[in-house]
């Protein structure tokens, strides 16, 4: 929920793939269908007590899932090269023919660029102007604690997800700092609509990322170390004030969590597309290169479906769903950028058959009286 309508089919397919991953890989990804609630609590921007619950939605554990998938790929014959930067691509007759890496050249018929927030930079050296900006985001993790929600929940101020270890992962929603970088300025016409539409939820800030942005080369030779070797990990400091506010709001809604230790907080970079919808498409003017990026903060959930569709495009197979909303275009003509508003009316084809999707009327804390679905 709260996503672009065009993303729903990919989300639904991904959910079904998540469900099967344990059987397919023989490994635990931490996935469970625990439901997600989008709620509005007093003081939040939305109406006081309305909420939406998708009972069949799920959650998984990134720390388990990433290694489970990497190991399963290796078992199936894939070779994982860790700490090995890809510097660029080689072409033959205008088509991708090899990938140039820090450990040598790998001949191939095609490649998938799934480089997250590094994708725009990688594309720049290929002469492809990929619409994407980097946005810093932060989360915190609590120690195991009873008394909080048993399903993932978001409201106008925070998002909270129960973890397999009994603690919670928490982030801030509703007032998210977006760093004013040179790259954002350069792409201001692309992002203006999204910034204006989400103006109540965004605070544009200036920090050190502007200087780092200026220092990063946009062109480099692929036979020597490039920007991916200089800056291997994007792990900015967490936004402590933002997280402190989120934690304060969480404790206000779930007083039982008061006094629970926050054991870790960390920052990351989100690869944001102008309309919040990822790109999964063959690169313009470069046959053999498929780009899968711009997940705009939804890429963990969408990962299984997005990965399968990227592979299908790369191999010329029929795709899981209609790929049109995910095409690369200067301005997308689908309704990709339309996000669900409140209350949410979910298109009939976006509801998994048999799923229980309710519009809920809520009292705090989470004493739900369901109002049978209007969705
Ligand atoms: C704080 C935070 C919270 C989030 N919460 C959620 C959430 O609740 N739900 C959700 O669905 N999503 C969430 N996300 C978003 C999610 O993590 C991303 O959408 C997802 O990781 C994107 O996957 P990806 O494979 O496209 O890119 P990434 O996960 O960024 O992976 C790209 C990989 O490519 C590698 N790479 C890049 N360039 C090169 C190169 N030249 N050579 C070799 N390797 C390269 C990088 O090292 C990296 O390992 C969150 C993100 C952040 C930062």
Q: Cα separation of 36 and 84, whole Å?
A: 37
Task: Extract the tokens encoding 233.
Answer: 């990990």
pTM comes to: 0.88
Q: Which overall architecture, per CATH, does domain 5-371 show?
A: 3-Layer(bba) Sandwich (3.50)
The protein residue whose alpha carbon is closest to atom 37 in ligand 1 is 115
Residue 62 alpha carbon, nearest atom of ligand 1? 17
Does 114 sit behind a cis peptide bond, omega within 30 degrees of 0 on the bond before it?
no
Residue 116 alpha carbon, nearest atom of ligand 1? 27
Say if residues 243 and 172 touch (Cβ distance below 8 Å). yes
Q: Which long-range contacts (CB under 8 A, 24 or more apart) does 209-212 make?
A: 209/134, 209/136, 209/179, 209/181, 209/236, 210/179, 210/180, 210/181, 210/182
- pLDDT tens-digit series, residues 248-296: 999 988 889 999 999 999 999 999 999 889 999 999 999 999 999 999 9
Q: Cα separation of 125 and 218, whole Å?
A: 6
Task: Kindly give the distance from the C-alpha atom of residue 207 to the centroid of ligand 1, in angstroms, as a whole number.
Answer: 22
| Backbone torsion region of residue 294, taken as left when φ is above 0, otherwise alpha when ψ lies between -120 and 50, otherwise beta | left
Task: Extract the tokens encoding 342.
Answer: 């409140």
Residue 296 alpha carbon, nearest atom of ligand 1? 19
Judge whether residue 230 has pLDDT over 60. Answer: yes
Task: Kindly give the distance from the C-alpha atom of residue 271 to the centroid of ligand 1, in angstroms, as a whole number.
Answer: 8
Alpha helices, DSSP H, located in 26-162 = 62-75, 119-125
Judge whether residue 53 has pLDDT over 90. Answer: no
Pick from 137, 113, 157: nearest CA to 288: 113
Residue 86 alpha carbon, nearest atom of ligand 1? 42
Alpha helices, DSSP H, located in 48-156 = 62-75, 119-125
Task: Kindly give the distance from the C-alpha atom of residue 291 to the centroid of ligand 1, in angstroms, as a whole number.
Answer: 14
Q: Cα separation of 223 and 90, whole Å?
A: 11
Q: Cα separation of 276 and 175, whole Å?
A: 17
The percent of residues above 70 in pLDDT, for the chain, comes to: 83
pLDDT at 2: 61
The protein residue whose alpha carbon is closest to atom 35 in ligand 1 is 115
Say if residues 180 and 204 touch (Cβ distance below 8 Å). yes
Judge whether residue 139 has pLDDT over 70. Answer: yes
Sequence-distant (6+) residues with CB within 8 A of 175 are: 157, 201, 202, 203, 242, 245
195-199, 306-310, 340-344 — most confident range: 306-310
Any residues with Cβ below 6 Å from ligand 1, and which? 85-86, 114-118, 122, 137-139, 228, 268, 270, 293, 295, 297-301
Alpha helices, DSSP H, located in the chain = 8-25, 62-75, 119-125, 182-186, 188-197, 209-215, 227-230, 240-253, 299-315
- pLDDT tens-digit series, residues 332-375: 654 444 443 333 333 333 333 333 333 333 333 333 333 333 32
Task: Kindly give the distance from the C-alpha atom of residue 293 to the centroid of ligand 1, in angstroms, as a whole number.
Answer: 9
Task: Extract the tokens encoding 13.
Answer: 């397919």
Using the Cα atoms of residue 184, residue 189, residue 194 and residue 195 in order, give the sign of their dihedral: positive
DSSP string, 8-55: HHHHHHHHHHHHHHHHHHSS----B---EEEE--TTSSS-SSEEEEET
pLDDT at 122: 96
Using the Cα atoms of residue 328, residue 331, residue 335 and residue 341 in order, give the sign of their dihedral: positive
Question: What is the edge-to-edge ordering of all strands in the sheet holding 289-293?
Answer: 111-113, 289-293, 279-282
pLDDT at 174: 80
């Amino acid at each position: 929920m709260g996503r672009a309508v065009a993303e729903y089919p990919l989300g639904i397919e991904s959910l079904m793939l998540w469900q099967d991953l344990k059987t397919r890989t023989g490994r635990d990804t931490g996935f469970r269908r625990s439901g997600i609630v989008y709620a509005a609590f007093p003081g939040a921007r939305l109406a006081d007590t309305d909420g939406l619950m998708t009972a069949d939605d799920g959650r998984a554990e990134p720390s388990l899932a990433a290694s489970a998938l990497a190991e399963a790929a290796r078992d199936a014959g894939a070779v994982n090269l860790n700490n090995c930067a890809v510097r660029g691509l080689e072409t033959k007759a205008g088509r991708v023919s090899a990938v140039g890496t820090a450990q040598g050249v790998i001949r191939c018929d095609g490649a998938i660029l799934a480089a997250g927030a590094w994708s725009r930079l990688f594309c720049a050296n290929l002469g492809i102007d990929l619409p994407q900006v980097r946005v810093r985001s932060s989360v915190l993790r609590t120690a195991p604690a009873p008394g909080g929600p048993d399903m993932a929940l978001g409201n106008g101020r925070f998002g909270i997800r129960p973890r397999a270890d009994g603690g919670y992962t928490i982030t801030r929603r509703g007032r998210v700092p977006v760093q004013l970088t040179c790259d954002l300025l350069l792409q201001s016409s692309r992002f203006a609509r999204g910034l204006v539409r989400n103006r109540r939820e965004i605070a544009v800030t200036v920090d050190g990322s502007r200087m780092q942005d200026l220092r990063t080369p946009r062109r480099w030779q692929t036979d020597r170390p490039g920007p991916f070797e200089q800056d291997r990990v994007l792990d900015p400091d967490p936004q402590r004030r933002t997280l402190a506010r989120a934690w304060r709001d969480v404790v206000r809604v779930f007083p039982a969590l008061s006094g629970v230790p926050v054991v870790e907080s960390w920052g990351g970079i989100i690869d944001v597309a102008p309309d919040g919808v990822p790109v999964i498409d063959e690169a313009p003017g470069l046959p053999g290169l498929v780009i899968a990026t711009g997940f705009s903060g939804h890429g963990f959930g969408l990962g299984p479906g997005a990965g399968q569709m990227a592979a299908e495009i790369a191999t010329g197979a029929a795709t899981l769903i209609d790929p049109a909303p995910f095409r690369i275009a200067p301005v997308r003509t689908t309704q990709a950028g339309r996000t669900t508003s409140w209350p949410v009316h979910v298109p009939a084809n976006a509801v998994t058959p048999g799923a229980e999707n309710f519009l809920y009327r809520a009292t705090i804390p989470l004493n739900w009286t369901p109002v049978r679905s209007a969705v």
